Chain A
């Protein structure tokens, strides 16, 4: 063999070796639509029902069953009022927000508000989130900072989150009751901030709940 040929061969072999080592060590990989290769399946797939899995036993193939009709969960409550039934909700939650308005609750409120409400209502509550801008077209997401919304009772906001309003979806299944009240606190704070800080924070950095109820009463 001539020298150039030998060099070429050596290079080729080195390349192949690098590639093989790269693949075998997991450094080189590519996308694949085929399910992962299983040489020895062990007990990887056991015969049991899995969350969100399939169960051929049932007619609709769902492993996750709905609760039997007429039963109630031991923990947590299902939200009792339908969309638009604001009056009953206001009567039922007349006591207002059960959570104290502490920095911790507001932090939680911000976290949940950013997660669940910001796509449409924006991080500030102004109602021009990215989904609103890109998708809703002429369907308007309400501005939570406007005068009318500032006058809503806590119970009404809680009700809208839990049961939805027109095209706004209901969130009772995804946000726990405690978290929904935390969101209400946070919306109240956003409204106060936008309104030039109607309620000053007390010296220890928290806003007392009596003050915020007086505000909402005065605004009604």
Chain B
């Protein structure tokens, strides 16, 4: 139709535009996923608090500071009074702790920067997962070697569901350092194995434990829930499959 030159130019323009759009779409589609955008988010915190020192070296259990993770959906970041329980004496003059002391004297909370954040339309519950004896490490990575906390897992819907479908592959069973109650005493030599799972057989044979609920919901499961032995002590259970139906997380 056109002269050969224009024809070639036209073809190249169309091809070029197409390729640009295709590459752009691939980059946007894959690049917007949480494991690209979110993993590795490591904000600088107002106080140079180190999990590596407090958990890795001093062996303070997670629940000493994040108490309440066993009972509530939210896992609280410790209040200033928790820090001051020790730091009223320890390193009482340290300039690194200046902000903590100020917060303690004035009664103003320290503004920690939040690392793990699900969208507000997702309801995640810590207590349910902790009572199924799932260790913090399954979802937060090796916190005890991190100087500054970074997000380690994508926290995307696909990630939640892949564990709910195949818990055997994703769950790291409770370790002593997390302070998760397993209903039994620790073995005698637990002090040498603080950072290793207590019962590595915990997640075996999940399929035999669960019963699917087909109606009225799809993708929901039932497992045996032990009756509480003592009122007021949250009773642990064996993990089953997690739910897959939408209303379990979006409501």
Contact = CB atoms under 8 A, between A and B. Distances in A.
A135 B91 contact: yes
A167 B64 contact: no
Contacts of A34: 41
B39 A29 contact: yes
A92 B28 CA distance: 66
B64 A115 contact: yes
Contacts of A136: 89-90
Question: Which secondary structure dominates where chain A touches chain B?
Answer: loop
A115 B194 CA distance: 12
B74 A52 contact: yes
Interface string B174-192: 0010010111111000010
B179 A114 contact: yes
Interface string A42-68: 111110101110100000101000000
A110 B179 CA distance: 10
B90 A110 contact: no
B60 A131 contact: yes
Contacts of B231: 178
A134 interface: yes
22 contacts: A23-B36, A24-B30, A26-B36, A30-B40, A31-B150, A32-B40, A36-B41, A42-B119, A44-B120, A45-B120, A46-B120, A48-B120, A50-B120, A52-B74, A107-B182, A111-B181, A119-B64, A131-B58, A136-B89, A139-B89, A167-B89, A178-B230
Contacts of A36: 34, 37-38, 41
A219 interface: no
B233 A108 contact: yes
A197 to B, nearest CB: 16
B67 A130 contact: no
B59 A119 contact: yes
Given A114-B61, A116-B64, A119-B60, A182 B40 contact: no
Nearest to A119: B60
B205 interface: no
Interface residues of B, number: 63
Interface stretch (A1-9, A78-86, A98-106, A142-150): A98-106
B24 interface: no
B229 A104 contact: yes
Contacts of B99: none
Contacts of A167: 88-89
A33 interface: yes
Interface of A: 23-26, 29-39, 42-46, 48, 50-52, 54, 60, 62, 99, 102-108, 110-111, 114-116, 118-119, 123, 130-131, 134-137, 139, 167, 169, 174-179, 182
Interface string B73-93: 010110001101110111100
B120 A31 contact: no
B36 to A, nearest CB: 5
Nearest to A122: B191
B245 interface: no
Contact of A169 (B33, B61, B68, B81): B81
A32 B42 contact: yes
**What are the 6 closest A-B residue pairs judged by CB atoms, nearest first?**
A26-B35, A169-B85, A178-B232, A135-B90, A115-B179, A24-B30
B31 interface: yes
Residue of A34, A43, A52, A130 contacting most chain B CB atoms (<10 Å): A52
A29 B179 contact: no
Given A31-B42, A118-B59, A137-B89, 7 more contacts: A29-B35, A103-B185, A107-B185, A111-B182, A115-B179, A130-B57, A169-B86
